[in-house]
Amino acid sequence: MNGVPFICIDPHLVSLPQVDRSSHEDVEDFISAVVDWASTADGKCTTAFVSSVVLDAIDKDGAFPWHSNLEALLKHYRVRSADPKTVVQAVHSLLNSARIDDAIGVKAIMLDPSKTNLSAGFMRARLRPQTQQAFDDQLAIMSLAQAGIGDVDPVALGSMPQGNEKPSLAYVSFETEVADIEWSTIPQGTSVACPYRIDGKLSVFFSRNGLLERIEPVSLWPDDGDDDKAVHAIDCCIARLLAGGASEARKVQYALGEHFVQSADAWQCGRDGRHNFTLIESCARIVLGIPKHDIGEFIDNHTGKQKIREDGAVACRTHLTKHGAGLRLMFWVLSDGSAEFANVGDKDELVIL
């Protein structure tokens, strides 16, 4: 995992918002966070977990995101940040994540509530009563994982901030005393004698970008031709550039052409190629409107003018390297301003696919 933590999803992200306590803006922020974190459930940049005890508690609290209830919520608040189908799929992805309690072999856990404390109180306060208690259980299970039980270490909490403020938290402090544990699988080589004291910190990320800032982009690049993995690598580099002070003001949407990953492999820009990071960073910078090298027109040899595709997209090129093979990155700029990265080639074989 390249030091990247597994993510355990905050119960808040799989609970329906409380209608009497939520504004339209709150619900829009919630939906955006759910869709954002759902993209971790595919396991391509990390693995997302949920907690069985949390899902049971959410159901008991009447907040389980059944499709009909979720669609009613979206209609009630006239949500525009994502279409209903996308939201339903995102929630479904999170709910289908692996169970962290199963992963470390815990069937049930009993805590002493008088000895339980969480530093980030707002994260607990926004949950319903049964889910609050289950959240404590989830944090205790995560702490056991941090102690080396099971195979999900390191593990962090995937959450969302309260309101519009950018959170300064990088971790939460959690303390409790485990009175008893019922194991479904007795851990080998690890002894947990109850009462078992927990007093430590758990990392927390309030967005997928926050997680991506921790990852080396090259580690995400595919070795199997998977376009989605290449997108994760470019997204990761975008997140790191933003964290380093780059602006989002000129950011555009982007996509990968059918031959992009294959051509990268052919020109030493693939997973093990010496120009892999150069390609990833060049794509990320073009997306943010801060290209590393000048962008030029891709000239059609037949017309002597910039090549234009049937859909109106215009062809562009930029340097990847200026020495040796003199590699170029070819891409299309669509009528809506978005970019489609087409292929890599050298200075003597300029072809756009």
Cβ-count burial 318-336 (b if 16+ within 10 Å, e if not):
bbbbeeeeebbbbbbbbee
Distance CA 9, CA 48 (A): 7
pLDDT tens-digit series, residues 103-135 = 999 999 999 999 999 998 899 999 999 999 999
What's the confidence (pLDDT) of residue 347?
Answer: 80
Is residue 85 assigned to a domain? yes
Measure the CA–CA gap between 317 and 329, rounded to whole angstroms: 6
Instruction: Pick the last residue of a domain from 191, 211, 231.
Output: 211
**64 inside domain:** yes
Per-residue confidence band for 1, with pLDDT thresholds at 50, 70 and 90: very low
Tell me whether residue 243 is in a domain: no
> Is the pLDDT reported for residue 329 higher than 60?
yes
What CATH number should be reported for the domain holding residue 308?
Answer: 3.30.2310.20
Whether residue 306 is predicted with pLDDT greater than 60 in this model: the reply is yes
Asked whether residue 93 is assigned to any structural domain, the reply reads yes
Residue that wins the pLDDT comparison between 148 and 10 = 10
* Percentage of the residues of the chain whose pLDDT score is greater than 90: 57
Mean pLDDT for the stretch of residues 261-266: 94
Residues 55 and 128 in one domain: yes
Q: Domain end: 211, 233, 261, which one?
A: 211
Residue 312: which region, alpha, beta or left (left: phi > 0; alpha: psi -120 to 50)?
Answer: left
How far apart, in whole angstroms, are the C-alpha atoms of residue 16 and residue 95? 13
pLDDT of residue 129: 96
Q: Taking the model in full, what pTM does it have? A: 0.71
153 pLDDT higher than 80: no
Same domain, 197 and 261: no
Same-domain status, 192 and 258:
no
Residues 256 and 205 in one domain: no
Other C-beta atoms closer than 10 Å to the C-beta of 258 total 12
Region of 338 on the Ramachandran plot (φ > 0 left; ψ -120 to 50 alpha; else beta): beta
Supply φ then ψ for residue 296, to 5 degrees: -115, 165
Question: How many whole angstroms separate alpha carbon 130 and alpha carbon 139?
Answer: 15
Report, as an integer, the average pLDDT of 270-292. Answer: 93
Structural domains of the chain, count: 2
Q: Is the pLDDT higher at 81 or at 92?
A: 92
Whole-number pLDDT of residue 2: 46
Whether pLDDT at 282 is above 50 = yes
Whether residue 190 is found in the same domain as residue 42: yes
53 and 163 inside one domain = yes
Instruction: Give the domain extent around 334.
Output: 250-345
> Is residue 234 situated within a structural domain?
no
pLDDT at res. 168:
65
Residue 274 is predicted with a pLDDT of 87
- The answer to whether residue 218 sits within a structural domain is no
Q: pLDDT at position 43, please? A: 61
Q: Do 130 and 264 fall within a single domain? A: no
Q: Is pLDDT above 60 for 3?
A: no
Residues 176 and 274 in one domain: no
Residue 220 lies in a domain: no
Is the pLDDT assigned to residue 42 strictly greater than 70?
Answer: no
Average pLDDT, the chain: 89
Q: How confident is the model at residue 45 (pLDDT cuts 50, 70, 90)?
A: low
Domain assignment present for 353:
no
Instruction: Reply yes or no on whether the pLDDT at 247 is more than 80.
Output: yes
Q: 133-142, 162-171, 274-283: which has the minimum mean pLDDT?
A: 162-171
Asked whether the predicted pLDDT for residue 44 surpasses 70, the reply is no
Together in a domain, 58 and 177: yes
The verdict on 207 and 276 lying in the same domain is no
Q: Are residues 31 and 120 in the same domain?
A: yes
Specify whether 27 is located in the same domain as 157. yes
- What angle in degrees, to the nearest 10, is found between the helix axes of 84-95 and 24-38? 60
Is the separation of the CB atoms in 288 and 240 below 8 Å?
Answer: no
pLDDT confidence tier of residue 11, bands split at 50, 70 and 90: very high
Q: What is the pLDDT of residue 234?
A: 95
